Every structure is written in structure tokens, then in C-alpha cells.
Structure 1
């Protein structure tokens, strides 16, 4: 069997009830997180671009778009929902690879589940298996693929979207191989567009391509038997510098990469989260204000300046990829929510002045979820802190209580408190539901 066939067999043959109980719990958490951030994002002009486009497409009303009254084709709904989920950069992160698995996988799974009318448990299991597929593909090409400039959420995420949607549609292994092949040949997304609408589009494209690929495969579509490991396949073409078959298949079904996934406490690139934790903690402990601070110095992982190196962001989306802005907003506002990444915030003269005082030194020995920070005051006082594991990392995960607070704050921007609570309960009991309609109906907003 090829590596693609082995992966497909794992996804197709797994039993819903045999998955570890904690994975189903984590699937609910990721769905709640997705719905909250997508509902919040749906209110923005950035979201309106794709929602209005989807209305103009005039597709048949088959699947639901979060935060609106729009029902459209399965693939269009997956596209828009994937875009919304990743728009604020407030979703989840697979820490070993910086893949964001929810944004491509859940929208594809939900769209397929609206068509197939499968049980809530089957839907949750499909996400678990789709997310595992995306994470396994991602880790098999890490770090070479990402270092070359590919956005791994789009390129590896499309495999997870196809696997999850294919699982919902009941594809047997051979058809699932075809679905992975159709999805893999559309793997795309480059890091050059980070800080623009192009980045969340990668997640939407992956979700849409995944649900399309699964649907085509169900109808008899054929593709390569080894889109991942073939001579001109994903590994050879998109990660020629290196790949690992062992990382793809080792302990498949025994060791779950979902364990290494974390929910974000801040609405920006995850590698800056330790810095934000540190600045907020020092700010609160010493009651620091912007006019007191002479400098903020950080010792960081190499990915921080590489991914978050925008020195002078011009718009809010660029601020999400500026560690200097993240630190400055953390000091001034004591927060890192989407409100800290508006166009107005990046132009705020107080935040801009602090931004100019932030610097970082790369240290190969510092982990991605770790940081050392020194804040020096104008009077010469120095406050130092070491954050060993950032909030939301696998070693310091977001609790259900904190997730509920995040959910309420974001979902209630769009839904009434009563409707938001009903949606929370619908997801939390999804494994007992006959289908997903209780969730998809509540995640919409009539008249919007």
C-alpha cells in the first residue's frame, strides 16, 4: 500500500465509538471556538467581501454560512466559513507545525454533514479524523515546506478537509484515496500574503476544495493512488527539501496530534503569544503605563521576527503580524483581542510610540511557546519575566471555563445572549444529536 492508501484506510475504517473520549471533547471545543470567532468576524467589512460575493453567486441553498442568513452550495459555504474562521487569526494552532486545523477542516465537515444528515457523533468523529490527517501531513513536511514559503494551513489543511468530508459522506478507502488525490492536486497558499485577506482565504480554499474532492470521489472521480508520496506528488513537489514517512504514519490511531493543538487567547500569530503573556503579566503586576516605559526587550524563538516582523503596520491585519504591535497593545490595553488589531489601533500614537521601544533578540534555545522579557522604565527600574509555556499551548491549555468566557465575549457580539447560550449547549451535546441542524440553524443570523 502507498502512504496515501494507508492514511485513507485509517480514516475510512476507524469506528466513531472507538475514538478516545477526549478527542470528541476536543472536537466540541474547537467547534465552539470556531463558531465564536466566525460570528465575531462575520460583522466586519473584511467578511462582507466574501459573503456578498457568495450571494451574487446565486447557488442552490444547501449549506449554512456562519453569522448570516445565507445558505448556498456546500463548497461555497465551506469557502466562506473557512475564511471567517481564520480571518481574525484567533483560531487554533497545532504547535509542532503552526498549522491551523479547524479553519479548513470544520467548515468542510459541517457542509458535508448538512448534506449527508449524519449523526452528531459521526460529525465530531469526522472532524477528529480530518484534523489528524491535516496534522499528520503537516508534520511530515515540517519544517522544510513552511520554510520554503508555503502556508501549511492551506496546503496540508486541504487533505484534512477532504478526509473529514469524505468520512461524513461514507467513502470507502479506495474512494477516499481519490478524494485525497483531488484535494492534494489543489494544495495551495503562500506566506507572501500574510497580513492580508489572502491568508484566511487559504483556509477557505482548502475547506472548499476538500468538500468538493470528497463529493467528486463519491461520484467516481479518480486520481493518483499516492498523491502524497508519489514520484511527482505532494512531498516531491511541495517539499523537495525533506519529508518524513514515519511522521505521517507512526502510531497512527494510537498517538493523536490533536493533543498538540491549542486554542488561541490572542487574535494574532501564535508565536507572539508568549511575549503578550509576559507583557500583560508585568503590566498588571507593576501597574505599568506607556509613559513609564523606556524599552521592552525580548529573547525569542527565531520564528517570531520571521513570521511577526512587520515593523510599522499600516492596517489592522498587518498588526496581527507585528510582534512589536502585539507587545505595545498588550502594554497599553492589557489585551490582545481583535479590538487591538483595528486600523485605528495600529495608528494610535500611544501604541505607535511604544511599538518603537520594542525589540527582540533571537535565541535558538528558546522554544516557540517560551520567552524572556525585560521591561526597563525611564527611571532605570527593570522588570524581568520568563514565560515557560504560553497560554493556550499544549503544556498550558485553555480551560473550558476560559473558553466559555472567550465564546461569550465573541459570540454575543452577533447573537443574543440567549441564542449564544443555546448554540453553546447544542455543540456541547452534539454527540447525542441525530444530526447537525441544531448547530447550523443557531449559528446563522436571520435577516443578516
Structure 2
């Protein structure tokens, strides 16, 4: 039965999105999106495997799933063991964000879509590289469109939701449905089942960061696979989950009508991920990037060393900038890896002292580095007027000013125009290859350099791969 009340401008939106995800074909994808999707696959594989030994919580999550047993359908990346596909996605999606090195855009789309697609490819067997690319692109497009449709300034902060987990249930379900070959009606049911599992509060990131922040995509990816599998077997999901009386926007985004054109406009012809996606060049929360980039520029231009710096002040930015900067005493002394990655004072200090931010800077040894901690004591934050109206909650539009006061009394200020890794300053394949090798070197179950090279080659030629599962086999 049709809901009694729907958003007039969004009539039929859920059905149109479902049909889009179900019928999207590889030949519909522009070459730039094919290339970007392959880059997302390589990047996600690397950061996921790297977490298997670098993130303390990784063994807990993988160990729990291992204890559950069940059909060995899909691989736990970095560990080599197998588990039922939904549980493998739970592990791989969780590990994908534990290093905070995964990509950006309309939420962290790849740590939802890539684990889902890889796990179902492995379970099903024989999925071509083209089908893998298409399934990932379908889910990423749906998830990105939903994010861009929310017209509330800085909505993930003001409304209190975490976009990756919340919207990942829908974007992930779109990927899972496409990977399983569901028709439009089944896909609509999968989206509806995913919707009824939705969750994802930003409370997990308030104060001392928690492991829930790392595991957000694990929950949504697992739920997405379950949603598609249940829909395939005949379970009927909620209808009109976008436009309905109790749908996504009326339940989770109550203070603003969504931009319906962002959701359903030019489906199959326009792919907004191309304009919003970015790769991380440093392993920390995306909102640390503007300060990292500004400090690095000033450090190089002025030939500054730690002893030259009297103080560093981060000024303004967005609500997220403030969240990552306060309370100052806690942010200067992170106790866990996830705390350090979610701290602007600490990460700024690392960049000032070392001229880079690397994976090992967030290990126990890195968190206790005396030189970094001494510099962190000189980093502070100052809000300046009202926060700007940032629509979509993307870290790419956060632009705080960094002020460095040197020992000679001079004040140097910098606000960067573009961030490395974003569409206007994209990374090259060579960077992603090096990043992947660096991450995979920390695999809990070692992977040979030869196999890593073969995986990289396969990903770059994914459209010609007959069985995408071979990628996972080489890594396990």
C-alpha cells in the first residue's frame, strides 16, 4: 500500500534509483569513472590490509567473526581466513576505516561498496572485472547522490549523523543488488531492507574517539549484503524509503527538503562522484588535511624546523574543525591511534616536526614521540565568528587558516586553495601504487611483493579480468 504522504518533488524517487542501480551497465560508465573505480578498488584493498596488523581492534573484530564459524564464502583481507559473506564484509568494511586512510567524497563510499562487491564476487565465483566495476559504481553513485541531496549546512554535525554508516546501508545495498544481478523490483526491496537497518550517530566521535568510528562501514556493508540476499529470496522491503512519510529525509533530515534533482537528475548520464571524490595522502581524518597542507606549505617556503616555531594556531574552519581540536588537553595527548587520527593539534604537530604524516606516527611509539608532543603543546585552536554554511558535510570544503608564529616574532598565515588528492589536485597512479604497497607491507598474513605487483596490474586492467576473485586469491 502506498504511503499516504510523500514528498511531492520526490515522487517515484526510490523506484527510479532502484531501476538505475539494477540496469546500469558497464558501457554506461564514462572512461573517467571506470578509471576512478579501479583506483578506489586498489586504494581500499591497501588500507584494509594494512589495518590487519596496525589497528589493535582489527584482531578483535576478525577473531570474533572467526569464532562464529559458518560457510567459508569470502576472505577476511589481511588475515586470509574465510567467513560467510556478510561477516567478511563486516570485517573488511571495518578494517577499511581503521587507519583513516580510505578515500573521501559523499561519505567514505569505497569502504562500503568495495568490500561488498569483492565478497559477493568471491562467494558467487566467476564475476568479471567489468561487473565488479559496475556494481561498485552503482552503489557509489547512489550514495553520493543521497549525500549531495541534503541541503542542510554541515548536516552531519548539526543533525548528528555519520553519513558513511547511515547512507551506506542504501549505497551498499545498491552495490550488493547489482553484484547479485537482482532486477529492479528486487533491488527496490533490497534498498528497503537496508533502510530498515539504518543507524550511525556521530556521538561515536565526540570527545575521546571510539572504535565505533572505525567500524561504521562494517555495519552498513554487512547489512547491505543481508538486504540483497533477503530480497533475492523474496523478502519484501519497505517502499518509498526516500520520499515516503517516514522515509530517509523525513526521518533523518527533518529540517530541510532534499534536492530531488541531485538524487534522480540525469541518472546514468551524470556521475557526481567524479566531482566530489578524493584520495587521502595522509592517514588521518579528512578534516586534518587543510591544516596539514597549510603547515607543509609554510614549512617548505620558510624552511622552518620545530625549533623555529613558537606557536601554531588553527583558526576558524567548520564545526568539524572545532570537533577535532577540542578539548585541547585531550587532543594534544591522544591515548589511542584513533584519537591521534582524529586530532588536529596532534596531527599538525606531526607534520610540523616531520614534514609528513605516516602510518607509524599513530602507533604507540608514534603517539609518545617527545618531539611531537612538545610541538602539540604549542598548537591551539581559535573559533572566529559564525561557522560557514557548508552543504554536504564534506571535509574538502573545510578551510581553516593556520597561523605560525616563529621565534623571531613574525606571524605567518596560510589558507590552502586546494587539497592534495581532491579532484582539482588529483593523485597519480604511481602514488596509489606506492600507498598500496606501503599498506600491504603491514598485512597480518604476509603477502609477497610479487603478488602485490600482480594485484596492481590486475586492478589497472580490471575491465579485462574474467574472474575478479583472482585478486583476492593473490592477497590471501
TM-score tier after normalising by the smaller chain length: over 0.9
SS in 1 for 2:314: strand
Q: 1:106 aligns to what?
A: 114
Deviation at 1:268, TM superposition (A): 1.3
2: distance between equivalents of 1:132 and 1:294?
46
Q: 2:7 aligns to what?
A: none
Moved more, 290-299 or 102-111: 290-299
2: distance between equivalents of 1:324 and 1:162?
37
Deviation at 1:298, TM superposition (A): 3.0
Q: Is the 8 A contact 2:127 2:469 kept in 1?
A: no
- Work out whether 1:119 is the aligned partner of 2:128: yes
Moved more, 81-90 or 414-423: 414-423
Instruction: Tell me the number of residue pairs that the alignment of Structure 1 and Structure 2 aligns.
Output: 441
1: distance between equivalents of 2:351 and 2:97?
21
Moved more, 84-93 or 220-229: 220-229
Q: Is the 8 A contact 2:277 2:423 kept in 1?
A: yes
Q: 2:29 aligns to what?
A: 19
**CA shift digits 1:208-257 (9 cap, x unpaired):** 11111111101101012211221112211111122412322222222212
Deviation at 1:166, TM superposition (A): 0.3
Q: Tell me the TM-score normalized by structure 1.
A: 0.94
Moved more, 187-196 or 374-383: 374-383
Match of 2:231 among 214, 217, 227: 217
Deviation at 1:180, TM superposition (A): 0.2
Q: 2:190 aligns to what?
A: 179
Deviation at 1:167, TM superposition (A): 0.3
Q: Is the 8 A contact 1:369 1:393 kept in 2?
A: no
Moved more, 169-178 or 1-10: 1-10
Q: 1:420 aligns to what?
A: 452
1: distance between equivalents of 2:418 and 2:52?
31
SS in 2 for 1:255: coil
2: distance between equivalents of 1:240 and 1:263?
31
For structure 1, list consecutive stretches of 5 or more residues without a partner in the other structure. Answer: none
SS in 1 for 2:380: strand
Deviation at 1:126, TM superposition (A): 0.7
- Work out whether 1:129 is the aligned partner of 2:143: no
Q: Is the 8 A contact 2:337 2:363 kept in 1?
A: yes
Q: 2:351 aligns to what?
A: 330
Q: CA RMSD in A?
A: 1.9
2: distance between equivalents of 1:352 and 1:264?
24
2: distance between equivalents of 1:442 and 1:299?
47
Q: Is the 8 A contact 1:54 1:72 kept in 2?
A: yes
Moved more, 332-341 or 388-397: 332-341
Matches within 5 A, 1:237-316: 237-244=251-258, 245-259=260-274, 260-310=276-326, 311=328, 312=330, 313-316=334-337
Deviation at 1:60, TM superposition (A): 0.8
**CA shift digits 1:409-438 (9 cap, x unpaired):** 222333332121111112112211112121
**Cα 1:62/1:142, change in 2 over 3 Å:** farther
Match of 1:37 among 41, 47, 51: 47
Moved more, 277-286 or 423-432: 277-286
Q: 2:240 aligns to what?
A: 226
2: distance between equivalents of 1:360 and 1:251?
42
1: distance between equivalents of 2:452 and 2:398?
32
1: distance between equivalents of 2:235 and 2:110?
26
- Work out whether 1:197 is the aligned partner of 2:197: no
- Work out whether 1:206 is the aligned partner of 2:220: yes
Q: Is the 8 A contact 2:157 2:320 kept in 1?
A: no
Deviation at 1:188, TM superposition (A): 0.9
**CA shift digits 1:253-272 (9 cap, x unpaired):** 22212111101111111122
Matches within 5 A, 1:49-88: 49-88=60-99
1: distance between equivalents of 2:236 and 2:368?
52
**Cα 1:304/1:238, change in 2 over 3 Å:** closer
Q: 1:398 aligns to what?
A: 427
- Work out whether 1:435 is the aligned partner of 2:445: no
Deviation at 1:28, TM superposition (A): 0.6
2: distance between equivalents of 1:362 and 1:257?
32
- Work out whether 1:352 is the aligned partner of 2:367: no
SS in 1 for 2:415: strand
**CA shift digits 1:253-296 (9 cap, x unpaired):** 22212111101111111122011012123223333222321111
Q: Is the 8 A contact 1:146 1:152 kept in 2?
A: no
SS in 1 for 2:401: strand
